[in-house]
Structure 1
Amino acid sequence: MHFHSVCITFANRMKIGNLEFGPQPVFLAPMEDVTDIGFRLLCKRFGASMVYTEFVSAEALIRDVKSTQQKLTISDEERPVGIQIYGRDVDAMVEAAKIVEQAGPDLIDLNFGCPVKKVAGKGAGAGMLQNIPKLLEITRKVVDAVKLPVTVKTRLGWNQDQLIITELAEQLQDCGIQALTIHGRTRAQMYTGEADWTLIGEVKHNPRIHIPIIGNGDITSPEEAKQAFERYGVDAIMVGRATFGRPWIFKEIRDYLDHNIVDESFGFNEKLDVLEEQLRINVERIDETRGILHTRRHLAATPIFKAIPNFRQTRIAMLRAAKMDELTGILEDTRKLLG
């Protein structure tokens, strides 16, 4: 029995290339307009095992688009950090991967999962699931072109009639990727319905798969995180939408997984401090206009205002504020409502 537990502990040390993670790592999903540097730093502080930049268009990177270049800015405090790229042209993806490598991330992730129309509709992101030979060619050539570990994030398939992930996982592994993240939905589902983890579990338990499998989709609580590890055996989980306005979800999950005592002192005021800090970091690191825009998305989604009665007008004012001092003023007034 003792030997058995030693084996399990050893097996739990997940590695991607030479990056080593503790048991049951929890990653922050890459998300457009969400995972900017301010938010990544906070998620890291609260216990995210790895963070990713917003996804980057290969075409825009090659054309040297300034706003896309800015997405490559990373800091040592957030490591390990991955930069995710998407595109549908083989040469553009290879070229973009080389540019990204120069920015100094810890790994490069290929996005074959984004379902939104402006990406998938043009054959990139999840659109690649309709052209598997090209998807594999891109993967192979990017792996060959860079020294960094290359990973992939994708979905179960294009739709319910094409649930190809079990076979695709093996093909991607043969291309040389070093980890695979699977979102438990098809492209057709977008973000609707429930994520189906059974196929993620199947990939993980396939004896031919030896790379780490990261599960993603609908993890919104510490209990669901624990269940994902225990029921499906994944090497890591990735949390996306549940992090909006709630970077401390990583601490909640970590405490639960590690059987730590929940910190009762971390209440409304402390959480509001975190959101105000996020605003400050974003304004400093990006600029006032976009820094506020990015933070407003989190303020709109955060669960911390749910306890405040008749909050609608304040919320509208908060989401209209265009200046830093105006927005911090509203946040401070909100503090008094619960004070």
Structure 2
Amino acid sequence: MRFPKPWSKKRGSRLTGRGLAATVGEAAFFATLFLVGVFILSLTLAQRFVAGPWPPLATGLGFWIFVALATAMIVVGGAALILGVLQIGASSERRSVLAQRAEELELIGRPVAEFPAVPTGMRMTDSPGMQLNFRLPTTSWPGKRLAAAAALALMWNAVWMVLLVVVIAGFWSDRPRWVLAGLLFPLAMIGIWVLRYYAKCLKRTSGVGATIVEIDEHPLQPGGTYRAYAAQLGRMKLRKIQIELICEEESTFRQGTDIRVDRNRVLSEIILDQYDLTIDLGRPWEQEFELKIPATAMHSFRSSHNAVHWKVIVSGEARPWPSFCQSFPVVVQPAAHPPKRNPR
């Protein structure tokens, strides 16, 4: 007889993400663990090395036990927060696919430089897909604002904890630091605001979720038709979601002492356009589509002053979360020349 396990993976082909409440609760727990560790370590070191009649709380072996405990809390809390930020939007199925197919990835050597100005796109095929062969990398990481907010919140409140220990040590040794004690209150208000901003960024990033684009072949060629797959994770209502194929020309030039970059879209084709969608944690939005490269299109190109970029852009208007736009670059190589025929 098998008993149901609520923590086990759901069966089927659905993608699963991390629950919003679980993500926020986990982040709050590890942030608290980190800050409590900073407070205990600061208090232990201060009572050992502070000058004055402040009696120590722990001596001998007890001192080192407190130091080890506080250090472990800081390391565990900080490492867990860093891993949580790095894994924002990733599903458990995605990580299992990477583990299973890591040995199946074929290492491709560097090709002969027949077209030295054309990107090879080798690094874009390092990541395996769940539905198709390759998962395209995105040019922007959705968690960069969250990472900055987390670093600011932890560092600011850690410094506040150290200042609090200094004030406590001063009162304990009958040398109160009134100015520093008065500064603790406005600094605490700033720390609370930073923590609230971090929680807001965490809810936004976890609610919107990751955007996934996969393709069956890469690099692409002019005139080719390719199967593609897109998925949007999270928990939200979408007013609109759009998939667009873009070819962009980029020019870099110097104007005086400044370096300027001019970008111009030479091709913009809307591949998919859908309205009024609902995305749940266990039921992400998924769509397969065809990616057609025009036969007369310019291939990807990069030099010191000019470049031609191809990319797939997935954008959406969500509520109550902010709108999102993710760019996935692809490489279009020159069309293969037909083999020369023998006149005989």
TM-score between the two structures when normalised by the length of structure 2: 0.19
Larger fraction in helix: 1
| Structure number with higher relative contact order (C-alpha < 8 Å, ≥ 6 residues apart) | 2
Structure number with greater Rg is 2
